[in-house]
């Protein structure tokens, strides 16, 4: 195959933009989506007909299906489908309002679900394709003051792992991409903050102090990793981006195993008599 055709959500900036540029730079075709199509003008100016810019809010299910259909009609196939659009809600569990929580799930979880559901009939008909879903280290471990965001990423992990077990027989590959901290606007314009309660100010200050010397990754450095994954004959189900993920996961799972084992006798009693 001379080139791949990508469908990527959330390409206005951040990692989605980096991956779109990497694909285009090597001669692939990209259906680039964003809530503001004007943000995609530089891609069109540089890569011309190789990029199809589409306005898309992934929380709108009908719009997602229409965008996938448009992509298929335009390029004739989809080789890589990347569900990347999302944002972070910052606030403790108590602080997060109902509208904020629902909106977070609508984009991060349901937006991913709609992209997958819209793409699958086409990928099954092709007998091939690769679905990449942007999760997070926060889909493996949790961080205080980002509870609803954490919950969306844990849900995305469960959704995508199940997907892999369902569609492998159709020739469809699935990868969860789990970035650590990167120097994007994830905590800037892309983020939403809940109304703070004074009771949690001490916790916020503690987290701020702990994060003061945190080293963020360079977004551009992720491009080669994503290209390697989509070109792999047997890509991984999960891929950490950056150095922080694996050590954090090892520590978290060691603690979980220790707790499960310490309480295993109680767990076995809960089985009941044979």
118: in domain: yes
Give the CATH number for residue 64.
3.40.50.720
Residue 274 pLDDT class (50, 70, 90 cuts) = confident
153: in domain: yes
Please say if 153 is a catalytic residue: yes
265: in domain: no
Tokens 């981006």 appear where? Answer: 241
**Annotated active-site residue in 83, 87, 96, 149:** 149
Residue 211 pLDDT class (50, 70, 90 cuts) = confident
The predicted structure's pLDDT at residue 181: 87
Give the pairing type, strands 29-34 and 89-90: unpaired
Q: Which domain holds residue 40?
A: 5-245
**Annotated active-site residue in 12, 83, 96, 135:** 135
Which pair of tokens denotes residue 230?
């989509």
What is the mean pLDDT of the segment spanning 91-103?
97
Q: What is the mean pLDDT of the chain?
A: 95
263: in domain: no
Residue 29: strand pairing partners: 5
What is the mean pLDDT of the segment spanning 224-230?
98
Whether the per-residue pLDDT at 1 is higher than 90: the answer is no
Three-state SS string over the chain comes to CCCCEEEECCCCCHHHHHHHHHHHHCCCEEEEEECCHHHHHHHHHHHHHHEEEEECCCCCHHHHHHHHHHHHHHHCCCCEEEECCCCCEEECCCCCCHHHHHHHHHHHHHHHHHHHHHHHHHHHHHCCEEEEEECCHHHCCCCCCEHHHHHHHHHHHHHHHHHHHHHHHHCEEEEEEEECCECCCCCCCCCEECCCCHHHHHHHHHHHHHCCCCCCECHHHHHHHHHHHHHCCCCCCEEEECCCHHHHHHHHHHHHHHHHHHCHHHHHHCCCCC
Whether the per-residue pLDDT at 189 is higher than 70: the answer is no
Whether the per-residue pLDDT at 188 is higher than 80: the answer is no
Whose CA is closest to 106, among 152, 163, 162?
152
256: in domain: no
Please say if 135 is a catalytic residue: yes
Residue 19 pLDDT class (50, 70, 90 cuts) = very high
Q: Is the dihedral of CA 211, 215, 219, 222 positive or negative?
A: negative
Q: Is the dihedral of CA 225, 227, 230, 233 positive or negative?
A: negative
**Annotated active-site residue in 4, 29, 153, 173:** 153
264: in domain: no
Give the phi and the psi of residue 179 in degrees, each rounded to 5. Answer: -70, 150
Please say if 149 is a catalytic residue: yes
* 101-150 residue pLDDT tens: 999 999 999 999 999 999 999 999 999 999 999 999 999 999 999 999 99
Q: How many domains does the chain have?
A: 1
The predicted structure's pLDDT at residue 186: 62
274: in domain: no
253: in domain: no
């Amino acid at each position: 195959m001379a080139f791949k055709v990508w469908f990527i959500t959330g390409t206005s900036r951040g990692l989605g933009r980096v991956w779109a540029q990497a694909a285009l730079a090597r001669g692939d075709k990209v259906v680039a989506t964003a809530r503001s199509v004007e943000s995609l003008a530089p891609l069109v100016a540089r890569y011309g007909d190789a990029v199809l810019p589409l306005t898309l809010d992934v929380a709108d299910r009908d719009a997602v299906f229409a965008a996938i259909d448009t992509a298929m009609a335009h390029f004739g196939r989809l080789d890589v489908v990347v569900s990347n659009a999302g944002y972070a809600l910052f606030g403790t569990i108590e602080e997060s309002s109902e509208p904020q929580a629902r909106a977070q799930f609508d984009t991060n979880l349901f937006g991913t679900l709609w992209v997958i559901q819209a793409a699958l009939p086409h990928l099954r008909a092709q007998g091939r394709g690769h679905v990449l879903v942007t999760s997070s280290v926060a889909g493996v471990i949790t961080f205080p003051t980002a509870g609803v965001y954490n919950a969306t990423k844990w849900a995305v992990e469960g959704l995508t792992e199940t997907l892999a077990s369902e569609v492998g027989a159709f020739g469809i590959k699935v990868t969860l991409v789990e970035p650590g901290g990167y120097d994007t606007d994830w905590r800037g314009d892309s983020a939403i903050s809940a109304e703070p309660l004074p009771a949690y100010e001490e916790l916020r200050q503690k987290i701020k102090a702990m994060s003061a010397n945190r080293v963020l990754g360079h977004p551009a450095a992720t491009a080669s990793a994503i290209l390697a994954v989509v070109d792999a004959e047997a890509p991984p189900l999960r891929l950490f981006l950056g150095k922080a993920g694996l050590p954090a996961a090892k520590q978290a799972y060691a603690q979980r195993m220790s707790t499960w084992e310490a309480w295993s006798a109680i767990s076995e009693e809960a089985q009941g008599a044979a």
